[in-house]
A and B are shown apart, each in its own frame.
Chain A
Amino acid sequence: SQKIEQNSEALNIQEGKTATLTCNYTNYSPAYLQWYRQDPGRGPVFLLLIRENEKEKRKERLKVTFDTTLKQSLFHITASQPADSATYLCALPRRDDKIIFGKGTRLHILP
């Protein structure tokens, strides 16, 4: 079955720097991949979707890449701010189109 791997260790980044989070998956390459943000005590919030034929997607300070050869997506936050501190989840569809999620990476932006 499809598995998603995200770095389970927290990532500490100095304010103003670029934060880069990694999502690796096994088995088949999905038609698209998504990133969500989750704050403590809240449900995940959708951020970006990137399709298999797209190398890169941007939204304001966010950038996502999708490398189907490496079976990897990178999620970048440029000019990071303390308000960006949260857990970021990678998600992708199974073959039956149901969405599965990684465990997420906790990001701390240090002032």
Chain B
Amino acid sequence: SAVISQKPSRDICQRGTSLTIQCQVDSQVTMMFWYRQQPGQSLTLIATANQGSEATYESGFVIDKFPISRPNLTFSTLTVSNMSPEDSSIYLCSVEWGTSGSAQTQYFGPGTRLLVL
């Protein structure tokens, strides 16, 4: 299994500012994923971060708002830019850890709880 850490674990930010969330994995992985989980909602995939290429964003999420870096196979950052109260959420990074064949399971970090005032 993979062990994933995230920093910060929580933060309170003012609207209009930006926050960068770090995700560190204890093993080299090809793909890392960033999810958002708003209160009472399911996990929503923001983007997929591949090392050495641009992140792939899901519908409704754009690079200007959520720039992502993936400098190596064990680390990624997600920035939440120009924040508004609607960005208050838990942000989670995850990695795939294969079972067999094409079936993949995901390991998640502990999440970053963000509150925007």
Contacts and interface: CB of A to CB of B under 8 A. Distances in A.
Interface of A: 4, 31-32, 34, 36, 41-46, 49, 51, 89, 91, 93, 97-104
B14 to A, nearest CB: 23
Nearest to A99: B106
Interface string B28-57: 000001000000111101001000000000
Contact of B111 (A43, A99, A102): A43
The size bracket of the interface on B is 20 to 34
Interface in B64-117: 92, 94, 99, 102-111, 113
A97 B99 CA distance: 14
B41 A46 contact: no
Contacts, number: 51
Which residue, B4, B92, B94, B104, has most C-beta atoms of chain A within 10 A?
B104
Nearest to A6: B42
A6 to B, nearest CB: 9
Contact of B43 (A45, A51, A89, A93): A89
User: Chain A binding site: helix, strand, loop or mixed by DSSP?
Assistant: strand
Interface of B: 4, 33, 40-43, 45, 48, 92, 94, 99, 102-111, 113
A4 B42 CA distance: 10
User: Chain B binding site: helix, strand, loop or mixed by DSSP?
Assistant: strand
Contact of A44 (B48, B99, B108): B108
A51 B108 contact: no
Given A46-B107, A98-B45, 4 more contacts: A36-B106, A44-B43, A89-B43, A97-B102
Contacts of B108: 43-45
Given A89-B43, A101-B42, A104-B42, A31 B102 contact: yes
